[in-house]
A and B are shown apart, each in its own frame.
Chain A
Amino acid sequence: MTNAILPEVEKYIAAQILKQPSRTIAVDEPLISSGLIDSFSLMDLALFVEDTFGVRIEDTELNANTFDNLAQLAALIESRKA
């Protein structure tokens, strides 16, 4: 399942947040602590995740303590689907 989540989230972050559609993001690449994703974009990401995967994630839950890379985010989404 995680395999299906990863590419979609990666594509969204690359195209919509980083404005670099052709960019690849490693699963363990730091996203928040590295400055790639700021607090405004985090909220966009939360909305995208809710709409795309049908899970509920509060805006306040998305921060560097709950996830900082794609693998952790996918795991978070996965755990909500269960």
Chain B
Amino acid sequence: MVKIEVNGEWREVDPGPDDTAVELLRDGLGLTGTKLVCGGGVCGACTIHVDGEPVVSCLLPVAALEGRSVATVEGLTRDGHPVPRAFAAHAALQCGFCTPGFVVEAVAFHDRWRAEHGTAEPPAEEVAAALAGHLCRCGAYAEIQAAVREACAGRFDEPGELSGPRREAGEKITGAARYTVDIRHDGQLEGVLLRSPHAHATVGTVDLSGALAVEGVRAAVELLGADRTVRYAGQEVAAVAAVDRRTAEAALAKIVVEYRKLPAVIGVDQALADGAPTVYQRGNRKPPNAAEGTATPAPWKGNVRGPMALFSTHRRRARNLIERARAAGDPLLVEGDFRTQAQAHTTLEPHAAVARFTGDTLEVHVSTQAVAELAKLIAKRFSLPEDKVRVIAEHVGGGFGSKAGVHAETVAAVTLARAAAAPVRVVFDRLAELSVTGHRPAARISLSLLADRDGNLAALRVHAYGDAGIAIGSMIAALGRLMYPAPAKELVDYDVVNHTPYGLPFRAPGAPPLSFALEQAVDEAARRLGRDPIALRQKWDPDPGRQRLYRWAAGLPVWQRESRRTGRFRRGVGVAAANWLYLWESDCAVALSVRGGRLTVSTAVQDMGTGSRSVLAATVAAGLGLAPSDVDVQLGDSVLPVGPGSGGSRTTATIAPAALSAVAKLKAELVARSRLSGARAAADGIRYAGGVLPWPEAIAAADDLRVEAKRPPDDATLSRSAPRAMAGAGVLGALFPVMMRLQGPMRIGRGYPSGVQVVEVEVDTKLGRTRVLRVHGGIAAGKLAVPELAAAQARGGIIQGVGFALYEERQFDPGTGLVLSANLEDYRIPGIADMPEIELHFDTEGYEHVPGGGVGLGEVATIPVAAAIANAVYDATGVRQYELPLRPDRVLSGKGAT
């Protein structure tokens, strides 16, 4: 027996030899604020205090806690400590999954600092060093940094509520927020998956009897597809549900699978080799789609799907112009072969699902970015009526594109729950997360860009080979049609399938890879033309939003400064522009209900850290003269009115206009029911013969009522001043919105959400390290629904872009196809000390046709980062970068080539 004091209470527990503190706290004591993320002490999410010192609980045996005092986030935040208030006030979090760990560490740092320094504000570097063991994938580092410094400075000593711009911040800061991994039903079983160790094999029998014979096992099922073929190492083969995880894992080892190994191709080189084995046989090509839209039909040759060249214009002319220029040695022909790597989404909450059948109704808690759609997909997959499936996601610990659709964790949980007739939870470990749950497809891009003597863009040629593993749908070159109009463009996309895990959409699919190639080529063209890179973009790029951003960027003092190209530490400045799409969903609705004089807004959207709760509350409150705290919010439940998936930056652009429509409907309903003489709706309230009844009073006095409104179309008159949807894409561009309308509820609106970023870097030419010192991020996406959270999205997108540019890289074993970088030590995401200073500039014009005046910006913020950094590295070193990430060895290897 081990005696431990937990949050002030002595407990006696009887641990197994391998039981760790995090398991005891979460599963044994129900203190689920402590999160298990990496299992290796790298990410800090599981940090607890032991005798007042923050330590890693995922590696700490329970036995080591004998006689010691443990404090978790729940205990540390209940007595009015200033750090939680500072986190809430600064909205120092997004998805919130890392937040308890940060808070626990920050409380200790705060107390230490105050004891030694009083209320002096700690320097940023000191805070960063203290928090160096904590990772936030959403990128809330700037807000965290500010919160900790100000708490130390005594600015949050005054007792009070946890309040700030992010509505659910308090729950996340105190560890009360329930994520899918925290769900615990009575009699709930734990499900684990058996995965193929082979990259390519057909599977004969799967003998589950050994697993079923293990005591504590309640179900074992097969998870193979109809063709009984595994096409990547780590593909799920079977699953077991048992009373606990260890029992289930022990049972997995008893399953006997008859694999017939087949030759495999790992990566693009092997897939393209002569005589390479093919991933899909003719007539049996059913690859998953890594794109957000439907894949267009294309020819196959071996493992190559393509060419897909629909977005080209005057293709032959482009080719001829470029070939002639090459033959003539034209210096205005810029060419390069670029490589971008696979980027893992690395959501801190793993993929997880908890399935439970109650009668004939299936309820599934899922860590998903599409509750409404997922309920339909699950119903279809398991042949259930749609009204018998309910999907719940109260809080989602990050998605970034990897959590839309029905994935293996959901299939396994539902299948096991059905077989075991008991609730089953399936939670992936970090090895699976970083191996098989999706990634931004890697790419090879050959790009040729030709300028003419007058400095015009004459031709562009982009051939992009996407590597999404066994998946298809890479669309990179095609995006080159939407920026920098030119008389001739050859834009060709290919997929190269190979026996590695499937890619998925990731924050602006296809755009960062193209940007890395295209924006560096534009930079090089400017250099050869002897023009300023911003001035050249102003000449080539007609987009009105970006034109305004270019004027802002050109005026930045840093843009005028000279680069420092001598000595060990070289400094440079680079620019890159970004273009994205404005999407929204037409079938979505928002409901407003008044119950007992209090207002609730609801829709089946989910909040994966982007701030949907805050957007809904702020939008509704502003329309009615209420404070956001006067509005209750319900979301994350598929029984609510249909809400959008969180992808394609469409969430806010869908729910904010729908909420405004609902507000208008509510006002009309309140007027109709007021029975006041001459009543009509005015901005401030119900105007009537006796004066004005303000909206808040009208709501407080109203009988219970409910209204619901769909997302209205954009204003047709105001639209005329905005660029057409898919402007610059010719006939195809004109057809595109029509085709979209025929396919489903997704709509594409007028205007390109845009970005222009100016980045300053310092390159250590001795040790090869590139530091991003400052990012000036300009974004044109209209008005901001909640300015603080829009800024947080932008900063997060920039920090993920820094990771893509400098650190993140998936590594394979070339023989087996196993992902080797399947832990957070080897898959390196940016930490708090890697964060640049970020200065944001929002251009709020141009979206007057959208109700509310703004669109989404989560994606456009991340697109240009790597390109701008590469241009800045060139400015500093004189060496062009062709491959991401810009690792020390890559930055140094080009050093001599100046």
User: Do chains A and B stick together as partners?
Assistant: no
A residues adjacent to B (C-beta < 8 A): none
B residues adjacent to A (C-beta < 8 A): none
